Amino acid sequence: MVQIPEIQLLAGFCSLPFGASKEQALQIFGQPEEEQNISEELLNNQSLVLHYWDKGFSLFFDLNRNEKFCSVETDNRETVLFDAKIFTLKEKEIIALMKQNNFSVTDTEVHPWGEKRVSFDEAGLDCYFENNRLVSVNFSSLEFGEQYPFFLN
């Protein structure tokens, strides 16, 4: 069954709710192309990441919290947010879409390598741009968001 990748802010991804188990993810999305363990020593945090490269997303599970689904990184061009294909929108259009849904920009940062991050902390959403084009989106539940400032970018 092919699912349209849908960001459900603060709730989950497609039909997988935040807090779900790895087994629930496997039932919905099947086997990933790769599994990876990531450790963030500064935050004393460990994650299991299921990479669905062909589907354009990675699912993160908190190993410190019984492997609960906590965040997503996606670069799938078909990804939908609030009924809009987010990767077709420019930065100002994403900001307007978020504002229409009561979320404001809380932070922006241009990394030394040129990538720009636009964050909507109350939504648990980070958007990454290169050359004014959206290249990836990271999002989590607020419960997990503060512990997952590291993604694959």
Query: What local confidence, expressed as pLDDT, does residue 152 receive?
Result: 38
Nearest residue to 74 (alpha-carbon basis) of 5, 146, 148, 150: 5
pLDDT at 153 over 90: no
All structural domains of the chain with their residue ranges: 6-142
In this predicted structure, which of 1-15, 16-30, 128-142 has the lowest mean pLDDT?
1-15
Cβ atoms 106, 125 nearer than 8 A = no
> Distance between CA atoms of 58 and 84, rounded to whole angstroms?
21
pLDDT at 102 over 80: yes
The confidence band for 18, taking pLDDT boundaries of 50, 70 and 90, is very high
Tell me which of 17 and 153 has the higher pLDDT: 17
Cβ atoms 139, 11 nearer than 8 A = no
Beta-bridge partner residues of 86: none
pLDDT per residue as tens digits for the range 25-62: 999 999 999 999 888 765 567 889 999 999 999 999 99
